[in-house]
Amino acid sequence: MKILKLSKLPIRLRLTLWYVLLMAISFAAFGVVLYARFQHSLVNTIDASLQNVAAQTLATFEVEEDLLESGKLLLERTDPPGDDFAIRLISAENEVWDVYGAEAVVWTALNEGFTTEQGWRVFSQPIIDVGSTPVGWIQTAQSLKNASDTLEDFRSQLYWGIPLMLLLAGVGGYFLADRALHPIDEITRTAHTIEAGDLSQRIAYAGPPDEVGRLAHTFDQMLERLQAAFTRERRFTGDAAHELRTPLTALKGQIEVTLGKERQPKEYQRTLVGLAEQVDRLIRLSNALLFLSRSDQESVSWEPYSLNLGDLLRVISEQIEPLAQEKNLRFERDIPAILPTFGDTDHLIRLFLNLLDNAVKYTPHGGQIILRAYPSQAGVQVTIHNSGPGIPAEHLPHLFERFYRVESDRSSQSGGTGLGLAIAQEIVRRHGGEINVSSEPQQGVIVVVYLPQS
């Protein structure tokens, strides 16, 4: 339930909370380690002081002589005793020879080294005479009250300092999260203002190229692609409506004129022939639109296999040759007997029929068409070159756009739909190949198709 509630918080607040949580864990761990090291350092300082006092005291004794003289060792009292330090001497028989310093010391048992008892740190060391035999003990003790007070003050600073640092970290974390997520807010606001009719809005992120910057840039690129797609769809829809309206208007006009009065059978026959031509044009346009629509939806039938493209091109060129002869065109062919490739026969027939039909339509009377095919690196290349005035350079980049025409009346004069090259490009793309169109003034048009072997 708590996780569910946390997931409903704004992302910048969640980032801040996680940041503060990690900082709290880090500060707590650091505080524990720092406190332990500080405590260890204080104890080591006290231990070093106790050892040093014991060593200095022992250095003042002439153990053998002092014992012979008085039977025990006595401390020199040069400094006034404090209430946090004491020193005493004890014989080997546990007889206290001398005590100097604080009276509240809780002395520990005689074990060499350091011990702690009721707030006192005690250091015990045996006193060795010339014969290496312990004759007594020296003990130095220091109160741990000052060290405890220091540690208590240090703990208080940690208790107050860590929450204060977490508060500052939380404020700073929220500020940084807000700045980091600001472009995302811009993306959200821009997305809310975008409509299908207006895709011109952009994030225009000017920050560093980090993750958020890449997201904003990707979003702008997506908007550009969407805008281009919507523009193409609107143009495609408008052009399709226009292309459909032209033959339908012609059909309606011819029918109305024919029905306007009684006519001879031959006149009705001529009208029906004209109607049939318009119907054929509608069928071609409908088939082209259906192919492109299915292609956009990736639902076009696709059955590729290995085939000899040379045989296919010879059959297609034989079908085109009568059309070329009607315009008195010279049709030259250079096709190898064997030209292996991999593709869908129906689509390849449609591709080259379309390209050769275009070449015949736009080549002036008495012109020339050259069809060449030859193997290329890892594939085959087919070139169709027709003579004529050529295509202006500014039109070449747009030739594969749907319904694009070099001249406004070109389609109506030739009977085309303006979709031939768009269909050709789609077929070549499905085969994994490339298609290019080049043209020079008065040098005609060259169409090059590259198809891979597999």
Give per-residue pLDDT as tens, 13-63. Answer: 888 888 888 888 988 899 899 989 998 999 999 999 999 988 888 887 776
Diameter of the chain by CA atoms? 166
Gap between the Cα atoms of 410 and 245, Å rounded: 17
- What is the predicted pLDDT for the residue at 408? 46
Gap between the Cα atoms of 33 and 30, Å rounded: 5
Tokens in use for 381?
């290349």
- In the sheet that 85-91 helps form, which strands lie side by side, from edge to edge? 96-101, 85-91, 134-143, 120-128, 113-117
Gap between the Cα atoms of 44 and 5, Å rounded: 50
Gap between the Cα atoms of 166 and 169, Å rounded: 5
Gap between the Cα atoms of 421 and 358, Å rounded: 9
Gap between the Cα atoms of 423 and 415, Å rounded: 16
- What is the predicted pLDDT for the residue at 73? 78
- pTM for the structure as a whole: 0.51
- What is the predicted pLDDT for the residue at 197? 62
pLDDT by residue, tens only, the chain of 454 residues: 444 466 677 777 888 888 888 888 988 899 899 989 998 999 999 999 999 988 888 887 776 676 666 667 777 776 666 778 888 888 888 888 888 888 778 888 888 889 888 888 899 988 877 667 788 888 889 988 888 989 999 888 888 888 888 888 888 888 888 877 777 777 777 777 776 667 777 777 777 777 777 877 888 888 888 887 777 777 777 666 766 776 777 778 878 777 777 777 887 788 788 788 778 777 777 777 777 777 666 767 778 889 999 999 999 999 999 999 999 999 999 999 899 999 999 889 989 988 998 899 889 999 999 999 999 877 899 999 999 888 888 888 888 887 777 664 444 445 556 778 888 898 899 888 999 999 988 888 999 999 987 6
- What is the predicted pLDDT for the residue at 335? 92
Gap between the Cα atoms of 63 and 210, Å rounded: 78
Tokens in use for 279?
């119907």
Task: Calculate the alpha carbon distances from 93 to 62, 70, 90, 97, 299 in Å.
Answer: 20, 16, 8, 11, 108
Gap between the Cα atoms of 372 and 431, Å rounded: 19
* Nearest one of 154, 139, 163 to 40, comparing CA atoms: 154
CA neighbours closer than 13 Å in the CB half-sphere of residue 115: 13
Structural domains of the chain in order of their starting residue, each with its CATH number: 2-153 (3.30.450), 211-296 (1.10.287.130), 305-452 (3.30.565.10)
Give the 3-state DSSP-derived string for the chain, with helices as H, strands as E and coil as C: CHHHHHHCCCHHHHHHHHHHHHHHHHHHHHHHHHHHHHHHHHHHHHHHHHHHHHHHHHHCCCHHHHHHHHCCCCCCCCCCCCCCEEEEEEECCCCEEEEEECCCCCCCCCCCEEEEECCEEEEEEEEECCCCCEEEEEEEEEECHHHHHHHHHHHHHHHHHHHHHHHHHHHHHHHHHHHHHHHHHHHHHHHHHCECCECCCCCCCCCCCCHHHHHHHHHHHHHHHHHHHHHHHHHHHHHHHHHHHHHHHHHHHHHHHHHCCCCCHHHHHHHHHHHHHHHHHHHHHHHHHHHHHHHHCCCCCCCCEEEEHHHHHHHHHHHHHHHHHHCCCEEEEECCCCCEEEECHHHHHHHHHHHHHHHHHCCCCCCEEEEEEEEECCEEEEEEEECCCCCCHHHHHHCCCCCCCCCCCHHHHHCCCCCHHHHHHHHHHHCCCEEEEEECCCCCEEEEEEEECC
Question: What is the Cα 318 distance to its own chain's centre?
Answer: 54
- What is the predicted pLDDT for the residue at 242? 63
Gap between the Cα atoms of 282 and 417, Å rounded: 9
- What is the predicted pLDDT for the residue at 411? 46
Give per-residue pLDDT as tens, 62-100. Answer: 766 766 666 677 777 766 667 788 888 888 888 888 888
- What is the predicted pLDDT for the residue at 454? 65
